């Protein structure tokens, strides 16, 4: 695989076909051996793709040398300015606005029971059928139903919100669709925000509506941009994670049987699924000065594309990395990033996924793939199954 061939593949990141890519890993494997840092042409311009674990970790750890500001040229064009393009103290101050709502203490008490009830409500609709496609009936819907509760939004609006979120993530391949979704979500959120200003209810939107950074209130546009980001982060990543861990376990019936018998192994399955198929595969960075990475000289203000998905399958770090194995032991995956920009919602995502898996295993005896239908993990930037046809014992 040459750099030119790779560039052709990665250009799909800026095309509508990016969601159909099934196997980027064979390309990454060759690159890790021959061109671990390679210049490629993307829709945003020239970028350096970083594929080895140690190099990816080095970039993620150092936000003074590798800045997030490059996001202003990409996703922030449709999302608005958010903490994903911020560095240093500015990033920390804005991040502190949401972390209290995603911290372990906020996820205790009645919250797990609420999440569990949402899972069972969804399962109730198909448990008697004996078969289902778990993507539309469960994995697609469940995370955003949870997140609408955290935001204090109307549950009946979750379908529209989720579809806007998907359109936002499609911005690279379809800018018009992305901008339309950004506008529609803003139109939906503005009256909600105005109401929370007058009548705060203690939810996350109320907190943002009255939050101050350096003594100044956030503007309405800043709050709405924040909420656009949270819709994607709070729903899309957990949606892909759930689908991938379910597919992995059903593709390995012995491991599924172990997890079904011993639910303490759910965390092992989640950790391995996060390594095996990270929901977010690619993150951008920009150099603040000239650097040399893996022997490649990179100028100042150059864009990097950090391949988390490749790092998590680096054979120098993980034995037989393409194999899904819950017995792998300590799995130091990079699916949630590393350092100061480590995913603020990681605990929430794992808690949701564990509760959802527990409910599915309790309610769907003999859960198994319908092998007469094709399914698999797809995508380049965001990865997860596009469908999960299954059988189970109806009751």
- Domains of the chain, CATH where assigned: 3-391 (1.10.630.10)
Q: What's the whole-number mean pLDDT along residues 347-359? A: 92
Q: Are 353 and 245 in contact (CB under 8 A)?
A: yes
- CB within 8 A of 85, min separation 6: which ones? 68, 69, 70, 71, 72, 76
Q: What's the rounded Cα separation, in Å, for the pair 170 and 175? A: 7
- Specify the higher pLDDT residue, 283 or 82: 283
Residue 10: pLDDT over 60 = no
What SS3 class is residue 17?
Answer: helix
Tens digits of residue pLDDT in 65-105? 998 877 656 666 666 666 666 777 776 777 777 677 666 66
What SS3 class is residue 323?
Answer: coil
| pLDDT score recorded for residue 75 | 63
| pLDDT score recorded for residue 297 | 96
Which pLDDT band, with edges at 50, 70 and 90, does 5 fall under? Answer: very low
Burial of 369 per CB tally in 10 Å (0-12, 13-18, 19+): middle
Tens digits of residue pLDDT in 108-130? 778 889 899 999 999 999 999 99
Q: Are 168 and 78 in contact (CB under 8 A)?
A: yes
Q: What's the rounded Cα separation, in Å, for the pair 288 and 101? A: 32
| pLDDT score recorded for residue 1 | 39
Considering the entire predicted model, what is its pTM? 0.87
Helix axes 253-261, 266-276, angle to 10 degrees: 140
| pLDDT score recorded for residue 246 | 98
The DSSP element (H or E) to which 297 belongs, if any, is strand 296-298
Q: From 270, 271, 263, select the one nearest 318 (Cα to Cα).
A: 271
Q: What are phi and psi of 217, to 5 degrees?
A: -65, 145
Q: What's the rounded Cα separation, in Å, for the pair 371 and 366? A: 14
Tens digits of residue pLDDT in 14-31? 444 566 788 899 999 999
| pLDDT score recorded for residue 58 | 96
């Amino acid at each position: 695989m040459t750099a030119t061939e790779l560039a052709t593949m990665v250009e799909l990141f800026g095309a509508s076909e990016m969601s159909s890519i099934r196997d980027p890993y064979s390309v990454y494997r060759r690159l890790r051996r021959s061109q671990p840092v390679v210049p490629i042409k993307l829709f945003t311009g020239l970028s350096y793709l970083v594929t080895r674990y140690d190099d990816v970790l080095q970039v993620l750890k150092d936000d003074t040398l590798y800045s997030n500001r490059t996001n202003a040229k990409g996703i922030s064009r449709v999302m608005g300015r958010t903490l994903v393009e911020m560095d240093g103290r500015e990033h920390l101050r804005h991040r502190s606005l949401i972390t209290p709502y995603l911290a372990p203490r906020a996820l205790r008490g009645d919250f797990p029971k609420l999440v569990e009830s949402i899972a069972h409500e969804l399962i109730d609709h198909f448990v008697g059928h004996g078969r289902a496609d778990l993507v539309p009936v469960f994995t697609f819907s469940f995370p955003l139903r949870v997140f609408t509760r955290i935001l204090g939004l109307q549950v009946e609006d979750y379908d529209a919100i989720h579809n806007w979120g998907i359109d936002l993530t499609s911005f690279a391949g379809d800018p018009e669709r992305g901008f339309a979704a950004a506008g529609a979500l803003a139109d939906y959120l503005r009256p909600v925000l105005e109401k929370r200003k007058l009548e705060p209810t203690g939810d996350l939107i109320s907190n943002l509506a009255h939050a101050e950074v350096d003594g100044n209130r956030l503007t309405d546009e800043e709050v709405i941009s924040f909420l656009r980001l949270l819709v994607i982060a709070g729903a899309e990543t957990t949606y892909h994670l759930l689908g991938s861990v379910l597919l992995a376990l059903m593709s390995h019936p012995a491991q599924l049987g172990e997890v079904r018998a011993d639910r303490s192994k759910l965390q092992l399955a989640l950790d391995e699924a996060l390594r095996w198929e990270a929901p977010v595969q690619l993150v951008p960075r920009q150099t603040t000065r000239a650097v040399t990475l893996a022997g490649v000289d990179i100028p100042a203000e150059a864009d990097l594309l950090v391949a988390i998905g490749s790092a998590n399958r680096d054979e120098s770090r993980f034995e037989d990395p393409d194999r899904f194995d819950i017995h792998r032991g300590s799995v130091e995956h990079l699916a949630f990033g590393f350092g100061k920009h480590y995913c603020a919602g990681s605990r929430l995502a794992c808690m949701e996924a564990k509760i959802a898996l527990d409910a599915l295993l309790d309610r769907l005896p003999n859960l198994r793939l319908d092998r007469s239908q094709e399914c698999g993990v797809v995508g380049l930037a965001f990865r997860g199954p596009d469908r999960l046809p299954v059988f189970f014992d109806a009751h």
